[in-house]
Amino acid sequence: MKAKSFYWERRFTDTDKIKVQGLVKIFGSNPESALSLLDQGWGKEQILARTRQTVAVNNVNFAVREGEVFVIMGLSGSGKSTVLRCINRLVEPTRGKVFIDDEDVTAANDVRLREIRRKKVGMVFQRFALFPHRTVLDNVAYGLEIQGVERDERYARAREMLALVGLNEWEMALPDQLSGGMQQRVGLARALASDPDILLMDEAFSALDPLIRREMQNELLSLQSKVNKTIIFVTHDLDEALKIGDRIALMKDGSIVQVGTPEEILTRPADEYVAKFVEDVDVTRVLTAEDVMRPAGTVSLKDGPRVALRRMRKEGFSSIFVVTRDCKLAGLITAEEALEASESNKEDLSKVLRHDFPTATPETPLNDLIPLLAHSKFPLAVIDDQKRLLGVIVRGALLAALVRKGGMK
């Protein structure tokens, strides 16, 4: 998808921040024996029956780009949390390597591992796990405290983080005085306090009720646009994965079945399992303006009404968008108005422009576009935050997109 890759390249440098290679985790008393069976092609169930050991993660490979939100999704027992914990070695991998910034984490000694955990990797937990005996402020400052940062400095930093998540009023409260959503914000602030490059989020919003969860997802996205971390987010909730993930890895029985953008997962499922997984997804919530817009034929302000008319005839539209010299959207002109202007010899287009057409940003989801288009007789202009025209969406194109995705089942 051309449009999507454009959208990413704005945000990511092309380097891999985290690389996971050939990761295997076996829980049991004699992992070596299970490992050799695994190499002989035995299945997970067979190994469990024969050796009473569980293959939690089976040869997982992926790379996460800097600044990316990478979602690992799967049902419970699919090994997603184990993969996450192998990255900072809360779970020791049985085999395979994990690289952070090209450093082999699996080869790090205790001291170095502690250093990586302290400086590079922050973690947010499903059940918040705020220390009940510490105030909110002391919870957020925990990471800095164990690094030996002076009290004043770490409190200043912790207050900064609490302000970032909007809880600066609560610094002296104890965790149990806070609601679930607030507690998880504290958890987020705690993970961010030592300014790690990487955030590991283990089902971070799963314990929250749906309304709060959605709010937290939005907040995470807006926070991410400010802090720009590399985030690995584990969830079992497909809607959540589609909403916050730049890319999604779908796991089943300890293996990754597919890695791709939300749209790739939806439109080109790798196998039947993925297809079944995504069949109930409401595409209007996942596809965005960017996915259905098409390049706009435009005229420049300096062109006269006759050029505009000719261009409309060529494109087959009854109206056309007018842009300034630096591609910023100036307005819209209809065929009738252009005709009238050319007959009365009004050469300056800026006098006859209209502004009552709908606009949207590339990230606007389809279900928000539908009412906009339904109430307008003009096409919708997709513009960026500098008011540059990126593309247009006409009613027909939107319907076509919906039909196409609908036929995917």
Q: Catalog residues that contact other proteins under the rule CB under 8 A.
A: 88, 90, 113-118, 121, 123, 125, 127, 129, 131-133, 142-143, 145-147, 174, 176, 190, 194, 200
List the alpha helices (DSSP H) in 142-287: 142-146, 151-164, 180-192, 210-227, 238-244, 262-267, 272-278, 283-286
Contacts of 245 (CB under 8 A, 6+ apart): 69, 70, 71, 73, 233, 261, 262
Residue closer to other proteins (CB basis): 35 or 174: 174
Instruction: State residue 405 phi and psi, 5-degree precision.
Output: -70, -35
Query: Residue 345, CB half-sphere, CA atoms under 13 Å: how many?
Result: 0
Could you tell me the smallest distance in angstroms from the CB atom of residue 117 to other proteins?
Answer: 4
Could you tell me the smallest distance in angstroms from the CB atom of residue 91 to other proteins?
Answer: 10
Query: Quick check: helix, strand or coil at residue 231?
Result: strand
Residue closer to other proteins (CB basis): 106 or 194: 194
Whether residue 393 contacts residue 400, with contact meaning beta carbons closer than 8 Å, is answered with no
Could you tell me the smallest distance in angstroms from the CB atom of residue 205 to other proteins?
Answer: 16
How far separated are the first and last CA of the chain, in Å rounded?
Answer: 20
Query: For helices 210-227 and 180-192, what crossing angle results, to 10°?
Result: 20
Residue closer to other proteins (CB basis): 35 or 90: 90
Whether residue 266 contacts residue 71, with contact meaning beta carbons closer than 8 Å, is answered with no
CA distances to 18, 55, 110, 304, 373 from 100, rounded to whole Å, are 5, 24, 16, 57, 46
Residue closer to other proteins (CB basis): 113 or 339: 113
Residue closer to other proteins (CB basis): 30 or 147: 147
CB atoms under 10 Å from CB of 229, counted, come to: 21
What does the DSSP assignment read for 32-51?
HHHHHHHHTT--HHHHHHHH
Task: Give the single-character DSSP code of 351.
Answer: G
CA distances to 164, 211, 275, 375 from 269, rounded to whole Å, are 38, 29, 5, 34
Could you tell me the smallest distance in angstroms from the CB atom of residue 148 to other proteins?
Answer: 10
Question: Strand pairing partners for 274?
Answer: none
Residue closer to other proteins (CB basis): 74 or 143: 143
Residue closer to other proteins (CB basis): 7 or 125: 125
Could you tell me the smallest distance in angstroms from the CB atom of residue 256 to other proteins?
Answer: 23
Q: What is the side-by-side strand order in the sheet with 389-393?
A: 359-360, 380-383, 389-393
Could you tell me the smallest distance in angstroms from the CB atom of residue 84 to other proteins?
Answer: 11
Could you tell me the smallest distance in angstroms from the CB atom of residue 170 to other proteins?
Answer: 17
Residue closer to other proteins (CB basis): 116 or 341: 116
Residue closer to other proteins (CB basis): 27 or 125: 125
What the block records as the tokens of 229 is 């971390």
Could you tell me the smallest distance in angstroms from the CB atom of residue 195 to other proteins?
Answer: 13
Could you tell me the smallest distance in angstroms from the CB atom of residue 174 to other proteins?
Answer: 8
